[in-house]
Amino acid sequence: MKKDILLLPGDGIGPEIIDSAVAILEAIAKKFKHEFTFKQHLIGGAAIDAASTPLPTETIAAAKKVDAVLLGAVGGPKWDQNPSHLRPERGLLAIRKALDLYANLRPVKGFEHLLDASPLKPDIINGSDLLIVRELTGGLYFGEPSQRSKDGQSVVDTLTYTRYEMERIIKKAFESAQLRKQKLTSVDKANVLESSKLWREIVDQQKPFYPDVEVNHMLVDAAAMKLITEPNSFDVIVTENMFGDILSDEASVLTGSLGMLPSASLAENGIGLYEPAHGSAPDIAGQGIANPIAMILSAAMMLRYSFKMDTEASNIEQAVEATINNGYYTADLKVKTGSLVTTKEMTNNILRNI
């Protein structure tokens, strides 16, 4: 098959890990006789520097023409003092909105060989395998107004959702649960927030349409605790934008590192954007030591969701697991034994297992 892929490396470790994903995809194309073509555009701080905007119109136009988008990460201290509209993160939010990428799927699956890498007890995290379904284009991130008062003495951020926005992500989560272990945990703050009350209502309304799925509601504070004390009690978690952002970084601790967590950002019909859950890691950028696995597994998700290439996606996932089982690890993984490798070496080892 012939597929056009748009690369948005972004900032910090973004370009380093995008290189790894491209190398893996080229190996997959060769092995399975596909033709992948890569185009590259600017987003985030790199785009601010070159074009004075975090999301140039050319980038959006290019994204609408390809079969899928791979994004590295955006942001960094260089732009942290910029006004809101000139922050790299704005570019990421804007592309999610422009492509209507409302469903962010963040699978969290620990590898047995990395049980040691987590600060949590191995018997607690052993076997953990869950999926966070995060709403990605609504809530606090996009509500207006979001500003400081003229005198600087007060601020407002707005949490808005329509029924439609909640319903589509909740349905997506039910469907995801049907394909997994048929267990859905809806996470909200219905004891305080009006938005969460409507959310809960919609979950209960949808429940009868998915009789095979067992559903429970959990308040977000308790969920944060349960996620690391009883991770095996979860299958699919569905939640709004901000809660999903926070819970997914927390959940990465189950895998040993944030550098292990891939994600797929999907629209109802249309293009998918695939991005690691982590950021641009400015503290290690440019050193060639970033963990490329979250990015590589995001590329595997692209093959599975956008290109329906299940065998190819599994090939990548198995190659990653085999490499980990062979004892290779990057500096973010605090394991006791094995071979410490750079980004390039990790990528080359995975390539050998393709």
Query: What residues line the site for Mn ion (CB under 5 A)?
Result: 245
* Residues whose CB is less than 8 angstroms from the CB of residue 142 and which lie 6 or more positions away in sequence, other chains included: 93, 97, 160, 241
Binders of ligand IPM among 53-82, rule CB under 6 A?
Answer: 75
Distance CA 161, CA 195 (A): 7
Residue type, 141: Y
Q: Does 332 bind ligand NAD (CB under 6 A)?
A: yes
Q: Which of residues 84-103 bind ligand IPM (CB under 6 A)?
A: 89, 92-93
Catalytic site residue from 11, 161, 189, 332: 189
Residue 142 or 174 with smaller CB distance to Mn ion: 142
Instruction: Rule CB under 6 A: say whether 11 interacts with ligand IPM.
Output: no
On whether 75 is known to bind a ligand per the annotation, the reply is: no
Asked if 132 and 247 count as a contact pair (C-beta separation under 8 A), the reply is yes
Strands (DSSP E) found in 49-92 = 68-73
323 binds ligand NAD (CB under 6 A): no
What does the alpha-carbon distance between residue 288 and residue 345 come to, in Å, rounded to a whole number? 10
> Of 241 and 330, which CB lies nearer to Mn ion in the complex structure?
241
16 binds ligand IPM (CB under 6 A): no
**Pairing mode, strands 264-266 and 236-239:** unpaired
Question: Are the beta carbons of 298 and 274 closer than 8 angstroms?
Answer: yes
What is the footprint of ligand IPM within residues 267-296 (CB under 6 A)?
277, 279
Q: How far apart are the first and last CA of the chain?
A: 18
282 near ligand NAD, rule: CB under 6 A? yes
Among 279, 296, 317, 323, indicate the residue that binds ligand NAD (CB under 6 A): 279
Give me the least distance between CB of 236 and ligand NAD, in Å please: 22
User: Which one is catalytic: 11, 19, 102, 141?
Assistant: 141
Ligand-binding site membership of 96 (annotated): yes
Nearest residue (CB) to Mn ion, 188 versus 245:
245
The rounded distance, in Å, linking the Cα atoms of 79 and 65 is: 29
Contacts of 163 by beta carbon, 8 Å cutoff, 6+ apart: 198, 202
Q: Which residue is nearest to ligand IPM (CB)?
A: 89
Q: Which of 259, 332, 320 is nearest to 294 (CA)?
A: 259
- Residue 309 region, left (φ>0) first, then alpha (ψ -120 to 50), else beta? beta
Q: Which residues are at the interface with ligand NAD (CB under 6 A)?
A: 13, 73-76, 89, 92, 258-259, 275, 278-284, 290-291, 294, 332
Binding-site positions for Mg(2+)? 221, 245, 249
- Residues noted as catalytic: 141, 189, 221, 245, 249
| Contact footprint for ligand IPM (CB under 6 A) | 75, 89, 92-93, 245, 277, 279
